[in-house]
């Protein structure tokens, strides 16, 4: 395991650090990064606009799409260079927020499965911050078991007509495009007969309803589709073969979440500083909790080193993303409990009345989105058991039966 940068990596890190020191602070002050503000303190339109500005700054500076070929507007760099940039960017508490679905989930999927026309149409605009994407996968009856989805897409000439409902769709109310899974052949087993679509979110027939979360913000949505018409050219991959395409997206999502890009994170120093501020740093229970948090965060760092080592050697990681995602979400849960213990009765305060503009209350409440989004903890354990440890899959009598028969059972 390599714990240190190579000379080339150290030079790259120094260049990144110098550029960020010059450009990042003004964007953090404008609300793109954490900036000491709670999630509610920045209105959604302002949050989106700030994210677009920061992404455009990255693009103009040559730091957008570090690993992408120059023909797609990227830098043509290595995966380890992207990791280094992410590490340095995190020091400023800044990222591209609502644009990350397009940047870290859509682009890898289009590069792996999309047509030349789809890549030409979308990759560069995503990198410039001009296109914001949402994910139309989960349904009320198809969350952890996503392959059981029932949204239908019926061919009509050179278009598909889509009817159904999706839920937990982050930023759908402000998205320009969506990636959509719909069932095109219900007579096939549930993992087959699914097709992956690109759909403009201003297409007639969408009814997007924001869902207010426990933190008070509403970046999740439920989306109803009534006779939404999608051109056949918007199919990604092959018709009825969308599940492998979706797995690429889902793997990218797990890596994004485990890397902390889409969930709240905190450091050992943050926790210790909070305990000192509250005057409980000598409390035995708090000290034990901090020690356990120290160990968990250290484990996450070393899991990250394993990932960095593979990337530095030019190796693409396998199921490490599921291991890291599970460790990340479990740390969020246990550390959330710890910071509430440290806060004491003040943990019940909210908004401007709370310490650090409700940062710690948001951390505690935000853990649930992290533990569910990108596949629940239980889903990650199944993936690790079956694909990493080689344990037998759960026995299901109707695994190969047509979807329309399974749905009736």
Nearest to 163 by CA among 155, 153, 173: 153
- Phi-psi bin for 171: left (phi > 0), alpha (psi -120 to 50), beta? left
**Is residue 109 helix, strand or coil?**
helix
Q: Per DSSP, what are the bridge partners of residue 198?
A: 179
Q: What contacts 269, CB < 8 A, 6 or more positions away?
A: none
Per-residue burial over 329-340, b if 16 or more Cβ lie within 10 Å, else e, is: bbbbeebbebbb
The rounded distance, in Å, linking the Cα atoms of 281 and 267 is 16
Element (H, E) at 9: helix 7-29
253 a catalytic residue: yes
DSSP one-letter code for 385: I
Q: Which residues contact 83 (CB under 8 A, 6 or more apart)?
A: 307, 308, 311
Catalytic residue, from 253, 378, 394, 405: name it: 253
Q: How far is CA 249 from the centre of its chain?
A: 10
**In terms of C-beta density within 10 A (0-12 exposed, 13-18 middle, 19 or more buried), how is residue 28 classed?**
middle
- Residue 370's SS3 state is helix
Cα–Cα distances (Å) from 184 to 149, 155, 160, 192, 241, in that order, read 11, 8, 9, 9, 10
> For residues 236 and 180, what is the distance between their CA atoms, to the nearest angstrom?
10
End-to-end CA separation in angstroms for the chain: 49
Whether residue 126 contacts residue 172, with contact meaning beta carbons closer than 8 Å, is answered with: no
Query: Are the CB atoms for 58 and 35 separated by under 8 Å?
Result: no
Query: Nearest CA to 175 among 114, 70, 90, 105?
Result: 105
For helices 284-312 and 268-278, the axis angle rounded to 10 degrees is 160
Active site residues: 253
């Amino acid at each position: 395991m390599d714990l240190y940068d190579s000379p080339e990596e150290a030079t790259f890190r120094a260049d990144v650090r110098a550029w960020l020191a010059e450009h990042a602070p003004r964007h953090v002050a404008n609300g793109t990064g954490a900036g000491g503000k709670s999630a509610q303190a920045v209105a959604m339109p302002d949050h989106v606009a700030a994210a677009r500005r920061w992404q455009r700054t990255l693009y103009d500076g040559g730091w957008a799409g570090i690993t992408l070929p120059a023909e797609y507007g990227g830098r043509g760099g290595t995966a380890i260079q992207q990791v280094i940039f992410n590490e340095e960017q995190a020091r400023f508490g800044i990222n591209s927020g609502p644009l990350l679905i397009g940047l870290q989930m859509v682009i890898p999927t289009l590069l792996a499965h999309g047509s030349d026309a789809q890549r030409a149409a979308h990759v560069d605009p995503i990198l410039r911050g001009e296109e914001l994407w949402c994910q139309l996968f989960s349904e009320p009856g198809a969350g952890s078991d996503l392959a059981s989805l029932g949204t239908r897409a019926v061919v009509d000439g050179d278009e598909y007509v889509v009817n159904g409902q999706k839920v937990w769709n982050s930023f759908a109310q402000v998205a320009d495009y969506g990636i959509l899974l719909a069932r095109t052949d219900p007579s096939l087993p549930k993992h087959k007969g699914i097709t992956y679509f690109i759909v403009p979110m201003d297409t007639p027939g969408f009814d997007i309803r924001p869902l207010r979360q426990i933190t008070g913000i509403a970046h999740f949505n439920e989306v109803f589709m009534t006779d939404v018409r999608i051109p056949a050219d918007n199919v990604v991959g092959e018709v009825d073969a969308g599940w492998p395409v979706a797995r690429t997206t889902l793997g990218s999502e797990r890596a994004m979440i485990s890397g902390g890009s889409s969930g709240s994170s905190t450091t050992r120093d943050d926790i210790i500083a909070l305990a000192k501020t509250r005057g409980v740093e000598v409390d035995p229970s708090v000290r034990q909790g901090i020690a356990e948090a120290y160990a968990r965060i250290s484990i996450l760092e070393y899991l990250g080193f394993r990932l960095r080592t593979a990337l530095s050697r030019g190796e693409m990681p396998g199921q490490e993303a599921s291991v890291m995602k599970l460790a990340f979400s479990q740390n969020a849960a246990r550390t959330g409990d710890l910071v509430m213990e440290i806060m004491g009765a003040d943990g019940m305060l909210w908004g401007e009345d709370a310490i650090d503009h409700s940062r710690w209350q948001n951390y505690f409440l935000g853990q649930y989105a992290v533990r569910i989004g990108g596949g629940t903890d239980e889903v990650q354990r199944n993936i690790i058991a079956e694909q990493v440890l080689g344990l037998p899959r759960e026995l299901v009598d109707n695994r190969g039966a047509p979807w329309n028969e399974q749905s009736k059972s």
